[in-house]
Amino acid sequence: MFKVKIGGEKLNPHQIAILLKLRSGGEKASNLLREMYRFGFESKSSFYTSLTELKERGYIEVDEEGWVKLTEKGVEAISKIPNLIEPKIKSIMKYISFIMESSKPREGERYISIAEEIEDVSELEEYKRFLEEELRKVEEKLKGWRRVEVE
């Protein structure tokens, strides 16, 4: 699991996911937990450990009713996250591409796509938008390249 260093403190992917989810506004901890299960939290304890660490470090506040919201420090951290995780994500994507290429189905085997694994309609629509945006970026990048024929 990778970590991102922000102002001398390291945040793990679970903590980053919580911060990014909270950027659209405060949320009840119980609702946040349900949402985070979709993003790789394996247990309540991993969620609450991440939440507690973020609170202790001053990135979030949790009120008596269980509402979680970003502090000024949390808002500042969110502004830095995209630039800090981009190189890590590129590295992970290369690794995933390698794994996917190396594990292509052999004759008689069938590859299961990510889309086949998504069962929620809104999540599938979100995945479609993500792929469309990624394809647009690829097409834009390809416009700047030109092919050179090699004899």
Mean pLDDT of all residues in 77-101: 78
The answer to whether residues 118 and 124 touch, using CB atoms and an 8 Å cutoff, is yes
DSSP letter for each residue of 74-85: HHHHHHHHHHHH
Residue 47 to residue 51: CA distance in whole angstroms: 6
**Residue 2's pLDDT is what?**
61
Task: Give the model confidence (pLDDT) of 116-142 as tens digits.
Answer: 888 888 888 888 888 898 898 888 888
Q: Using one digit for the tens of pLDDT, what is the confidence trace for 3-46?
A: 666 777 888 888 888 998 998 888 898 888 888 887 667 788 88
Compute the distance between CA of residue 35 and CA of residue 94 in angstroms, rounded to an integer: 27
- Its pTM stands at 0.59
Round to whole Å and give the CA distance between 9 and 94: 27
Give the residue among 114, 94, 81 at the shortest CA–CA distance from 13. 81
